[in-house]
Chain A
Amino acid sequence: MSERRSIDFGAMFSPSGHHLAGWRFPGGNAGKELDAAEAIRLAKQYEDAGFSALFVADVVSIWGHQLDSLSRTTRASYFEPFTLLSAIAAVTSKIGLVATATTSYNEPYTIARKLASLDHLSGGRAGWNVVTSVVPLEAQNFGRAEHFSHEERYVRAAEFVDAVEGLWDSVADDAFPRDKASGIYLDTRGRRAIDYRGEHIQTAGPLNISRPPQGHPVIFQAGASETGRAFAATYGEVIFAAPRTLDEAKRYRAALDVALQAKGRRHEDVRVWPGLSPIVASTHEEAKRISDELNGLLHNDVLRRVIQDNVGDVDFSGFDLDAPLPELPASNRSKSRAEGIIALARSEGLTLRQLAVRFAGGDTIGTPEELADRIETWVDAGVADGFNVAFPYLPGSADAFIEYVLPILESRGIWRPHFGATFRDTLGLERPGLTTADLQERAS
């Protein structure tokens, strides 16, 4: 009988901390959003600790146009993911490198190439977090007055991913004999145009780089609405999920498995990584004190924005933070998220302030044992194959998690460092191979 598979940890890149006020935390990383040396230090720390992936979120605009709150956060200035991860690729050797790229405001040829290039640069460690964009400002930076509708952007996303995967498969693994003696570099039978023609996306191919070492870089996805879930079930290999309770997580995994079955895929083809934003201290009280201190650093304008950014474009500026959540109109943003948040506020009778604090970061607090128990519970319940860890303040919260929580998980046999030759190997995902013979067969 084989040893139990280790879960995976991904670290979310957030150099001054993921909590909205994390950059203000004493001894923290204020002002290091664009510090290349610190970015590299963090990546190496995560790699040395055995994290399977480094994940870079992205929005192709600033994160909102209300400057009163935005100017109090780190969300107006940050590295572009492909440039950042390519630099990190050059100074790491094992950790997976996951870049967020939107299908709404890019072209598939560009993204297929960037990911193939990153996969070659890193020796097979690239991943792509497929998003469809949510912030209204993103549209306006790309010539559109308004964002695509929710349904329309998923149609585009499906065509986009089909085209990108088609481009990766436009060159066989063995297309390049590179025979110096005969002078033959390319076996032309191992490459073909794809001539993809969709409603939104047209691209001819072939790609002008060798097939990625992983065949396909690993596809990450976070869609939680019904449309998003169907999309994730079709394309996703690792799913970032945001359930807030174990019951919610169980319902999510069950629904995903149904969706997977409908697409002819198996439970084990897709890994689910819930989010985790840990505050660890030697006592529960001390962890709670840190959490309170962090939340106390949140300005009222920022608290209002947290709710607004999650539930839609409603102006909260006149609302009393210490009153219950008012009635809200429907939104074109992430539907599942808005509904979940509103339901949470209603069921627990939360004030706006209490609700906002739940979304500011640092959602799991306790002693190392408590953190390990929480992780173990979710893993045993079959709802977590790994966790996407967003450290609320740095370097402190990462140092504590790595030093105190990981050894407990290792001793309990839940997790251990387990790097493979490529990111796919690390995750235990199959490599989609493609030989010249395969291509010839498809063509005939």
Chain B
Amino acid sequence: MSRQLHLNAIYSAAGGYLGGWRAPGAPDDAGLDVGVIADQVAKLEDATFDAVFIADLLGVPDSHPDVLERVATVNDSFEPVTLLSALAARTSRIGLVGTVSTTYSEPYTVARQFASLDHLSGGRAGWNVVTSLIEAEARNFGLDAHPEHDARYRRADEFLQTVYGLWDSFDDDAFRWDVHSGIAFDPDALHWLHHRGEQFSVEGPLNIARPPQGRPVIAQAGASEAGRALAARHGEYIFSGATRLEDAVEYAQDLKRRAAALGRSPDDVLVFPILSAIVAPTRAEAEDRYAALTALLHERVALGDLEYWLGDVDLASLDLDGPLPEVPQTNKSHTSQRQLIETARREQLTIRQFVQRNISAADRIVVGDANDIADHIERWFEAGAADGFNVGFPTVPQDVDDFVTLVVPELRRRGLFRTEYTGTTLREHLGLARPASRYEGRAQAA
């Protein structure tokens, strides 16, 4: 069988496009209705998506009130792990991936939550490891400032090592439940972690059996130097923010090369570029829907979005017909900031033109009929930019419905995408091996 691609749904209950919550068919409560979300995710499961992914922030960004009053998701969203747990009870096959920050959590808590979700879902949990982004997150967790970029990544690395150790607390066959002898588990199959590191001191063991997947799948999106190093070392399910094919190819090849240098198989590092699609039965209808979509985004919000990703800079008070000013390096995503600045310089945009370009999301939304979208996917897939796609839905439910009814059948017709699930766990969907416990085959510690 030819190589097949994977599909991850990056699901935002209010729609992924900043103005998407205003779409005519979008839910009036902008997504705080688990019944509506569960129905959408059931459609994605019927379409054999590998996983649904819920992103997260631990606070409300410091954007201007004129911006905040016009956006949905950052103001008003479910906490990911609770939402995914609810979805676990309403689905049976689709993977459940959620963001949790290593900067503002404790390893024991996070190891437990994902182990618990993995048991609840029969092995479908994935953890998107982030180091957090914004100053408001620091203030919500008792810090005056967000820790600097490289320090966050050092903490993330030790955090992950600690979590892996906790997941191996019990051997896979530790639990006997022998009612006759009264032995619930074999004491020799329990392992104390005794972790004493630079950042964490964790005794263990975790208070839950080893997860069905051994380890829930590790998702990562690091794009900076420190981020790529972390992704190459730990990541299995890599979100790529690249919006140009050559950048996406460079990113995928670089990550796989780095992973190989660390002794990992490049096949165990799956790269998922972002893909947002407006698809309709005809190209003309898709263009009409796209025009209607962009009319929903207020200019001040699009400007605020640029201010945010450039590092909370004030653009609104500048001459909008002038060029983008010099901005200092942000403590948020270095890569997102750099991409924006490069785009503005390359295309010699004024601030006003840049805002219009952001409204059109021209480099992030693909518009067309099913063939157009499938052509895009196939081109990126064949070029080595992608093992799969992180599919965003600008509005819900419309763009979910259109993608699963129009694009997925076309991908299947081309032999690029599965027609049914062949496994039950997320690892099985992704073709990733179940990791052995660090204690497997080792003589019992004295």
Using a CB–CB distance below 8 Å, which chain A residues touch chain B? 21, 23-24, 26, 28, 30-31, 34, 36, 40, 59-63, 67-68, 70-74, 76-80, 82-84, 86-91, 105-107, 109-110, 113-114, 116-118, 120-121, 137, 140-143, 176, 178, 180, 183-188, 201-206, 208-210, 297, 299
Contact = CB atoms under 8 A, between A and B. Distances in A.
Nearest to A302: B182
Contact of A30 (B57, B112, B179): B179
Contact of B82 (A21, A40, A105, A114): A114
4 closest cross-chain pairs (CB), A and B: A86-B85, A140-B203, A31-B177, A204-B139
A83 B57 contact: no
Contact of A80 (B23, B104, B113, B182): B113
A23 B184 contact: yes
Contact of A114 (B24, B79, B209): B79
A36 B77 contact: no
Chain A, interface SS category: loop
Given A89-B86, A141-B108, A185-B69, A67 B79 contact: no
Nearest to B71: A185
A156 to B, nearest CB: 12
A77 to B, nearest CB: 5
Given A30-B177, A187-B69, A90 B106 contact: no
Nearest to B85: A86
Interface centre among B32, B86, B106, B208 (most CB of A within 10 A): B86
Given A23-B184, A36-B119, A180-B22, A87 B88 contact: yes
A60 B106 CA distance: 12
Interface stretch (B58-66, B320-328, B399-407): B58-66
Interface of B: 19, 21-24, 26, 28-30, 32, 34, 38, 57-60, 65, 68-72, 74-79, 81-83, 85-90, 104-106, 108-109, 112-113, 115-117, 119-122, 136, 139-142, 170, 175, 177, 179, 182-187, 190, 200-205, 207-209, 296, 298
Contacts of A83: 81-82, 85, 113, 116-117, 120
A71 B24 CA distance: 57
B426 to A, nearest CB: 16
B34 to A, nearest CB: 5
Given A74-B184, A186-B69, A90 B140 contact: no
A80 B208 contact: yes
A71 B79 contact: no
B86 A86 contact: yes
A23 B203 contact: no
Contacts of B113: 80, 82-83
B170 A77 contact: yes
A77 B140 contact: no
B21 A185 contact: yes
A67 B104 CA distance: 32
Contacts of A63: 207
B85 A185 contact: no
Contact of A72 (B90, B141, B183, B203): B183
A87 B89 contact: yes
Nearest to A99: B82
Contact of A68 (B177, B186, B187): B187
A36 B122 CA distance: 8
A91 B298 contact: no
A110 B105 contact: yes
A86 B83 contact: yes
A209 B83 CA distance: 13
A206 B140 CA distance: 8
A76 B86 contact: no
A68 B186 CA distance: 10
A182 B127 CA distance: 37
A21 B183 CA distance: 11
Contacts of A187: 69
Given A90-B38, A121-B86, A143-B201, A107 B142 contact: yes
Given A76-B207, A77-B207, A183 B78 contact: no
Contacts of B69: 184-188
B207 A143 contact: no
Contacts of A70: 187
A142 B170 CA distance: 19
Interface centre among A24, A82, A117 (most CB of B within 10 A): A117
Given A24-B179, A34-B208, A90-B90, A107 B104 contact: yes
Contacts of A88: 89
B89 to A, nearest CB: 4
A73 B184 contact: yes
A406 B260 CA distance: 64
B239 to A, nearest CB: 21
B34 A62 contact: no
Given A36-B89, A137-B203, A71 B179 contact: no
10 contacts: A71-B185, A71-B187, A76-B190, A77-B185, A87-B88, A88-B89, A89-B34, A121-B82, A140-B203, A208-B75
